């Protein structure tokens, strides 16, 4: 039975059904990638516990979100929730009720993947630990994403991305030269772990196709993120050393930095990773004599005179716009990039030409851009098809078409509060 907008039968994950019980950002990101690749993803939440993951984006903003974006639960305006849950179906189900549990059980029997990021032990308390899920559906793939894992002294700790970022070691590696650690602008662990989650499910799907076996995967956020700074851990173990914070410099290559250009908050980042690139930089700067200057002959010597080089490069940049400077450097074979703010980054001509984002008409009557995913598949379409569902928007399809409930039964579930729908018509 086709979901409301029809299936892309040639999609990568055609025929795969995913139950997305996760909330906030990391789990939803995992499920979003599965949905983008063509799986039928059913996002399950309830009126008592709706996913407020779209709202984190307001926390650090000095300006208010525009009025049209402030509809109930912030899910109708192309913002965070919409980006993370596009291409999914919306089912509301109160899993604390017996009837809700029974319906989840029936859904598990016809599903391939279940993604959840509850605290450790919650699925067991709901009666849906892995052993039960496996009994209901032997080939099911379960991705469980507790912050610290289900064992160990921190297993019951509360974890949020903004705290885990620091605990993962990323912050210790980030900061101005020799200065205090600095948080990232994006609360990185959540999306990083969301991507690792999709990677794990993809591997389990391949394994299932090869062997017919299901799988239980535990992704502890802390561990998943530390794997991405593994080189620093291995160095500490081998040598007992830690490079600390290098600002925008590189440990080996020089010069490297971020330089202010003409205009306001305008910058270009560049690096020099070889002798050829050093010669190219000297040409771009119009300073051919530097290329033969013994003080700058090797990366080690350029590192030793980095401040001097920064002053020379900075003076050249100060007279140029960031795009002009970037292109001039690139023409001489120097890796250089303008520092783009988020809007510039997403709308850059290069991204547009590659179809990086796509504009969809939204039921609110406005058009919003959606990021289309970070890859291009040459044979099968991947990307945005539908905006995010309202709470319970697809109750009828899931309960009626997939589980075979009658219209009367569906209405009764809603009136007894087991399911709910956002009142806003679409």
Partner 1 sequence: MAGPLEGVRVLELAQGTAGPYAGRLFAGLGADVVKVEPPGTGDVSRARGPFAGGREHRETSIPHLYLNAAKRSATLDLTAAEAPSLVRELAGSAHVVLEDLPAADRGRLALSYESLAGARPSIVVASVTHFGLSGRLAGHRGAEVVDQALSGHMAITGEAERGPLQIGGDLAQYVAGQTAFTGALFALYHALGTGEGQQVDCSVVESFADILDGEAILALNGMPRPRLGNHTADGFLRGRGGLYECADGWVALGQTPGGWEAFAEAVGDERLLDPALATPGGRAARKAEVESIVEQWVARHTKLEIYLGSQTRRNVCGFVATPADLLASEHLRAREYFVSVEHPVAGRAESPGAPFRFAGAPWVAGRAPLLGEHNRAVYVELLGMAPAELERLQSAGVM
The catalytic site residues sit at 190
Query: Binding segment for partner 1 among 101-109, 110-118, 353-361, 418-426 (CB under 8 A)?
Result: 353-361
- Residue 116 CA to its chain's centroid (Å): 16
**183, 201, 127, 104 alpha-carbon torsion, rounded to 10°:** 110
Residue 52 vs 421, nearer CB to partner 1: 52
HEC states along 62-116? CCCCCHHHCCHHHCCCCCHHHHHHCCEEEEECCCCCHHHHHHHHHHHHCCCEEEE
Angle at which helices 322-331 and 275-285 cross, to 10°: 130
**Shortest Cβ distance from residue 110 to partner 1 (Å)?**
19
Residue choice 80, 146, 383, 389 for contact with partner 1 (CB under 8 A): 80
Structure tokens at 295: 């003080």
Q: Examine residue 258 and tell whether it contacts partner 1 (CB under 8 A).
A: yes
247 binds partner 1 (CB under 8 A): yes
Q: Kindly state whether residue 239 participates in binding partner 1, applying the rule CB under 8 A.
A: yes
The footprint of partner 1 on residues 271-330 (CB under 8 A) is: 271, 273, 277, 330
Binder of partner 1 out of 27, 159, 383, 387 (CB under 8 A): 159
Q: Which residues pair with 17 in a beta bridge?
A: 40
Q: Nearest-5° angle of CA 295, CA 300, CA 302?
A: 45
Check binding of 97 to partner 1 (CB under 8 A): no
Hey, is 129 helix, strand or coil? coil
Q: Which of 48, 125, 376, 426 binds partner 1 (CB under 8 A)?
A: 376
Asked whether position 358 contacts partner 1 by CB under 8 A, the answer is no
Q: How far, in Å, are 31, 60, 394, 412 from residue 27 at the CA level?
A: 6, 22, 20, 31
What does each C-alpha distance from 171 to 143, 145, 196, 197, 252 come to in angstroms?
27, 22, 20, 22, 20
Binder among 160, 358, 381, 424 for partner 1 (CB under 8 A):
160
Among 212, 286, 343, 365, binds partner 1 (CB under 8 A): 343
Q: According to CB under 8 A, which one of 20, 45, 51, 82 is a site residue for partner 1?
A: 82
Q: Residue 50 has which token pair?
A: 């709706």
Does residue 73 bind partner 1 (CB under 8 A)?
no
**HSE (CB half, 13 Å, CA atoms) of 40?**
22
Query: Of these, 27, 50, 54, 392, which contacts partner 1 (CB under 8 A)?
Result: 54
Question: What minimum distance in Å lies between the beta carbon of 285 and partner 1?
Answer: 16
Q: Which of 68, 90, 63, 88 is nearest to 78 (CA)?
A: 68
Number of residues that bind partner 1 (CB under 8 A): 156
Decide if residue 8 touches partner 1 (CB under 8 A): no
Task: Between 181 and 417, name the residue whose CB sits nearer to partner 1.
Answer: 181
Distance in Å, CB of 102 to partner 1, minimum: 26
Per CB under 8 A, the list member of 19, 21, 104, 198 interacting with partner 1 is 198
CA distances 212 to 8, 131, 201, 206, 333, Å, are 24, 17, 14, 9, 50
Q: Is 333 in the site for partner 1 (CB under 8 A)?
A: yes
Q: How far is the CB of 28 from partner 1 (least distance, A)?
A: 9
Q: Interaction with partner 1 in 378-397: which residues (CB under 8 A)?
A: 378-380, 382
């Amino acid at each position: 039975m086709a979901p409301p907008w029809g299936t892309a039968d040639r999609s990568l994950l055609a025929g795969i059904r995913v139950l997305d019980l996760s909330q906030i950002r990391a789990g939803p990101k995992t499920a979003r990638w599965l949905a983008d690749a063509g799986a039928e993803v059913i996002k399950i939440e309830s009126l008592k516990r709706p996913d407020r993951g779209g709202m984190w984006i307001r926390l650090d903003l000095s300006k208010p979100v525009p009025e049209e974006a402030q509809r109930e639960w912030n899910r109708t305006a192309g913002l965070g929730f919409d980006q993370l849950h596009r291409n999914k179906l919306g089912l509301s189900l109160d899993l604390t009720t017996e009837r809700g549990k029974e319906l989840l059980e029936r859904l598990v029997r016809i599903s391939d993947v279940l993604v959840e990021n509850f605290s450790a032990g919650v699925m067991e308390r709901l009666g849906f630990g892995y052993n039960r899920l496996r009994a209901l559906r032997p080939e099911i793939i379960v991705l469980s994403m507790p912050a610290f894992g289900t064992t160990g002294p921190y297993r019951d700790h509360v974890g949020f991305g903004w705290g885990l970022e620091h605990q993962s070691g990323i912050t210790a590696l980030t900061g101005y030269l020799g200065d205090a650690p600095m948080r990232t602008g994006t609360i990185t662990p959540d999306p990083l772990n969301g991507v690792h989650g999709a990677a794990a499910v993809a591997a389990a799907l391949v394994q299932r196709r090869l062997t017919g076996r299901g799988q239980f995967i535990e992704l502890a956020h802390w561990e998943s993120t530390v794997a991405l700074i593994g080189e620093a851990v291995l160095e500490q173990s081998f040598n007992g050393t830690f490079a600390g914070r290098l600002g925008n410099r590189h440990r080996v290559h020089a010069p490297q930095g971020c330089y202010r250009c003409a205009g306001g908050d305008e910058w270009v980042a560049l690096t020099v990773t070889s002798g050829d690139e050093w010669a190219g930089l000297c040409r771009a700067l119009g300073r051919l004599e530097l290329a033969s200057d013994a003080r700058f002959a090797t990366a080690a010597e350029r590192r030793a005179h980095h401040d001097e080089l920064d002053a020379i490069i900075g003076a050249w940049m100060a007279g140029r716009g960031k795009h002009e400077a970037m292109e001039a450097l690139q023409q001489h074979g120097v890796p250089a990039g303008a520092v783009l703010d988020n809007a510039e980054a997403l709308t850059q001509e290069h991204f547009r030409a590659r179809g990086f984002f796509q504009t969809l008409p939204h039921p609110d009557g406005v058009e919003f851009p959606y990021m289309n995913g970070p890859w291009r598949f040459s044979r099968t379409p991947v990307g945005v098809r539908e905006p995010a569902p309202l709470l319970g928007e697809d109750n009828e399809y899931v309960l009626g078409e997939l589980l075979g409930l009658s219209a009367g039964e569906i209405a009764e579930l809603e009136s007894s509060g087991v399911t709910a729908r956002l009142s806003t018509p679409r």
